[in-house]
Amino acid sequence: LNGDFQATQRLARYVVESDPEDVPHDVRHEAARSLVNWLACGLGGSRHEAIQRAVAALRPFAGPPQATLIGRRDRFDVLHAALLNGMSAHVLDFDDTHLRTLVHPSVPVASSLLALSERQSISGCDFIHAFVLGVEVECRIANAIYASHNVSGYITGTAGVFGAAAAASRVLGLSAQHMTWALGIAATQAAGLREMAGTMSKSFVHGRAAQNGLVAALLAQKGFTSSERSIEAPRGFARVLAGVSELEALTAGLGERFELSLNTYKPYACGVVCHPVIDACIALGKQLACDPTEIEFISLRVHPLALKLTGIKKPSSGLESKWSIYHSSAVALVDRVAGEHQYSDERLNDPCVSALRDKVTAEADTALADDAAHVTIALRSGRTLEHYVEHATGSVARPMSDAALEQKFLTLADGVLARSQLTALLETCWQVERLDDVSSLARLSTPAEI
Amino acid sequence: LNGDFQATQRLARYVVESDPEDVPHDVRHEAARSLVNWLACGLGGSRHEAIQRAVAALRPFAGPPQATLIGRRDRFDVLHAALLNGMSAHVLDFDDTHLRTLVHPSVPVASSLLALSERQSISGCDFIHAFVLGVEVECRIANAIYASHNVSGYITGTAGVFGAAAAASRVLGLSAQHMTWALGIAATQAAGLREMAGTMSKSFVHGRAAQNGLVAALLAQKGFTSSERSIEAPRGFARVLAGVSELEALTAGLGERFELSLNTYKPYACGVVCHPVIDACIALGKQLACDPTEIEFISLRVHPLALKLTGIKKPSSGLESKWSIYHSSAVALVDRVAGEHQYSDERLNDPCVSALRDKVTAEADTALADDAAHVTIALRSGRTLEHYVEHATGSVARPMSDAALEQKFLTLADGVLARSQLTALLETCWQVERLDDVSSLARLSTPAEI
């Protein structure tokens, strides 16, 4: 690549010039699946303590009640709604994953777009198109940086802000020049540290990406200027945040394939790199005829990233236990599921789960794929059980079905909205492209007046 | 340092436990000088196009009119006021500098504190104390990272957010535990790229540091959790953003000396690393009896950082010309001053200045201090003039006097507030510690009703 490579401007031009007809049907259907999963997580997370505290802290400073908070009666200004809905949709660590980079694509893009839809009318067709384009930009940026960036900064915080900016800029109808500035204003807000895992600040990083990307688009709309080479310049985003100067991945094959096709949804409420181990432990738990106290030890062989990202041996809270492959395997073996309840303080401190957790050892095996795992259980009796998972449930090779996504939606949203409202909302999500105005989706996501 | 070094918690405890009596008189006077300079810049920048566009973009989403925008009639919510006042005070590139790190200390700390003072009563004494502590935290963090960070990320964006968080947390009366979380929430928002130089986004980075630090304090106040080792952890701020693991500078001699003592104020409206060259060119301009067209070439020898940070050869706008040592020397030679007007589009495109700019060459000399420069002018007549500056005006060794700061204040604020209001405001700044409630400072900074 020569020094004149204009990655930022090329991405901006692509987003401005893309035609909705260019997006294949299966990609648009994947967008609807992402929307179902994002709303499921947003509804499920909407009463989390992290959201309660953030709402209490920010309420006195919020603007007009322009936009819905998913799953809540509160209304906030559009910018705070993007933040808080992004936080709700991520706080359970149950949202979608672009597995190659571990970006969570929907939170920044969908949270900013839905909030904006309550300020200006956006058709379902335009919403899905802008969503696909926003995910494309954020995942391409993630592809360019993830190898050097992933284990340090939070990639959804840093790449996601571009996705939110691109999607919002598209529905605002910005020119390529203004969209280039929006990407620059996004770049200079790119932030987030993996050190936040297991604390409320993790969801904040993700919600901020949605809000900051939206602010970038709104500033650029008014002619607020920025660098026009914010991604690729020597002092730009890619080199400063990730040390990357080879940026072909940003534009190679642009418009010919869609990163959204690689989106995946979690069947389990924890870090995605744990999932193959959970599959194995659920299978072994079903085979296990004996009491868990009969287990001598549990030995995991996993992809190295699983230990890097979920290596917390003794989690101190339910939230932190989502980042523990040790807790995940113990609780999955006992409960034979791994939903939100398995990552509660209660299950974390359960004596049986806790005793089993101490018997888990894990080793990294570079020969394993990142969606594969091998688990061995040794019993006091001398017997051993083994299970190998080639592809985890919810991986690209073994995706969750539409029906499984619906079930996840209904389970997470249970008690937040009335059952009849949930089925109407699901139906609207699947048919989103037929909506004249997607703000009806937002209205359906808030509890009806009693 | 062993792996247990608790830098974040120690900084938090220091800020919580510090007694106003511990701050020496000269440091408190330096705080008043910083305040005068910050307000001067905020008033001077308040009608800049960047501020107009940001106000227009954000106005529809702003909360209640709780707080003053310096130099303007508009009122915004406290969070937006912190952002917009921070932007106003930085947009002219005329604010203060901690020379060792090139942090601009006052923008994040003063902008968040003054906005907060309109939400809760803060005495002048507490304001100055919190200001000193916020600057201490931000400059110590900058000291720890600047060597590896300065030429890539914007250090005021990344270190400044901690200063704003610490100062706001102090006046909110947070416990050490809550302040530790506030520093963590700040850490995960630390952002800013030097690539933004010469665009409106540079001021945005600085204002965001004020706003984001304030948000961090307000979230922590409500018990919003974060990492407790956000600065020093392996995946924390210092290693991820700057690759730094030697963090002694964060706490060495804490409470025994004050970084604010090293604060400096700019006599010239451009990047501080240009200032020794401008001193030399003004001096040479006064000696030069002939027409500038008689000049054959101008040759600069400067500290290497001056070329790295202000090396733009052909600036394309007045704003960008603040980052050009070539424009700075040419315009200083012709105009014999280097105020805001010298960095206007008009002066940039003046044929005489522009012709002279093309005759400037610059070379880095590692033997020169960063506040020194050597300038040689060769005339067509064969005569040469030379000038060596050992310490630039406004450096730690040759500080601006209180009277010079007042003159800067009056020049920048001229036409923004009535002259009588300006003298009252100046008087209030110098006597700030006597105020029962510093919100009167904010009220004095807005144009009186006609």
pLDDT digits (tens, 9 = 90+) for A15-51: 999 999 999 999 999 999 999 999 999 999 999 999 9
In this structure, what DSSP letter does residue A11 have? H
Per-residue model confidence (pLDDT) at position B5: 82
Give how far A216 is from chain B: nearest CA, Å: 10
CA dist., res. A425 & res. A417, Å (int): 10
Q: What pLDDT, on the 0 to 100 scale, is given for residue B231? A: 96
- Please tell me the predicted confidence (pLDDT) of residue B198: 86
Across B235-264, average pLDDT: 92
Would the pLDDT of B450 be above 80?
A: no
Kind of pairing, strands A295-302 and A360-364?
parallel
Q: How far apart are CA A313 and CA A323, in angstroms?
A: 9
Tell whether the model's pLDDT for residue B129 goes beyond 70.
yes
Q: Buried b / exposed e across B165-187, counting CB within 10 Å, b at 16+?
A: bbbbbbbbebebbbbbbbbbbbb
Rounded to a whole number of angstroms, the CA Rg of chain A reads: 22
CA dihedral A243, A246, A250, A256 (to 10 degrees): -150
Task: Show Cβ contacts of residue A78 under 8 Å, excluding neighbours closer than 6 positions.
Answer: A63, A66, A67, A115, A116, A118, A119, A214, B61
Contact A235 B185 (CB under 8 A): no
Sort out which chain B residues have CB atoms less than 8 A from A184's CB and list them: 195-196, 199, 201
Q: How confident is the model at residue B245 (pLDDT cuts 50, 70, 90)?
A: confident
Residue in chain B lying closest to A200 (CA): B225
* A189 close to B (CB below 8 A): yes
Asked if residue B425 has pLDDT above 80, the reply is yes
**pLDDT number for residue A352:** 95
Tell me the percentage of chain A whose pLDDT exceeds 90.
90
Taking only the tens place, the pLDDT of each residue in B193-224 is: 999 988 999 999 999 999 999 999 999 999 99
For the segment B291-329, what is each residue's pLDDT rounded down to a tens digit?
A: 888 999 999 999 999 999 999 999 999 989 999 999 999
Residues of A whose CB is below 8 A from B174: none
Q: What is the pLDDT of residues A355-397, one digit of tens each?
A: 999 999 999 999 999 999 999 999 999 999 999 999 999 999 9
Look at residue B37 in the predicted model and tell me its pLDDT.
98
For residue A290, pLDDT beyond 90: no
Q: What spatial distance separates the first Cα and last Cα of chain B, rounded to whole Å?
A: 61
Higher pLDDT, B99 or B175: B175
Task: In whole angstroms, give the CA distance from residue B214 to residue B166.
Answer: 9
Q: Is the Cβ of A357 closer than 8 Å to some Cβ of chain B? A: no
User: A237 pLDDT exceeds 90?
Assistant: yes
Q: Is the pLDDT of residue A4 over 80?
A: no
Does A77 sit within 8 Å of B215, measured CB to CB? no
Q: Whose CA is closest to A108, among A157, A68, A44?
A: A157
Per-residue pLDDT at B449: 66
Which of helix, strand or coil describes residue A225? coil
CA distances from B374 to B48, B366, B380 (A): 34, 12, 20
Q: Is pLDDT at A450 greater than 80 in this prediction?
A: no
Of the listed ranges A150-164, A410-424, B130-144, B257-271, the least confidently predicted one is A150-164
Question: Which pair of structure tokens corresponds to residue B394?
Answer: 């406004």
Report the pLDDT value the prediction gives residue A242, as an integer from 0 to 100.
87
Helix, strand, coil percentages (3-state) for chain A, rounded to 5, are 55, 10, 35
For residue B189, give the nearest of A200, A208, A225 by CB distance.
A208
Q: Given this model, what pLDDT does residue A147 score?
A: 85
Residue-wise pLDDT for B79-114, tens only, equals: 999 999 999 999 999 999 998 999 999 999 999 999
Neighboring chain B residues of A223 at a CB cutoff of 8 Å: 53
Q: Would the pLDDT of B1 be above 60? A: no
- Could you read off the pLDDT of B44-81 as tens digits, one per residue? 999 999 999 999 999 999 999 999 999 999 999 999 99
Model confidence at A3: pLDDT above 80 = no
In sequence order, the β-bridge partners of residue B299 are B361, B376
Q: In this predicted structure, what is the pLDDT of residue A1?
A: 47
Which residues, listed in sequence order, are joined to residue B303 by a DSSP beta bridge?
A: none
The Cα–Cα gap between B23 and A35 comes to 55
Of the candidates A181, A188, A224, the beta carbon closest to that of B192 is on A188
Rounded to the nearest integer, the mean pLDDT of chain B is 95
Q: Is the pLDDT of residue B410 over 70?
A: yes
Q: What average pLDDT score do residues A332-361 get? A: 95
CB contact under 8 A, A152 and B230: no
The amino acid sitting at A174 is L
Report the predicted TM-score, pTM, of the whole model to 2 decimal places.
0.93
Q: What is the mean pLDDT of residues B10-24?
A: 97
For A232-251, b/e burial (b = at least 16 CB within 10 A) is bbebbbbbbbbebeebebbb
**The pLDDT of residue B108:** 98
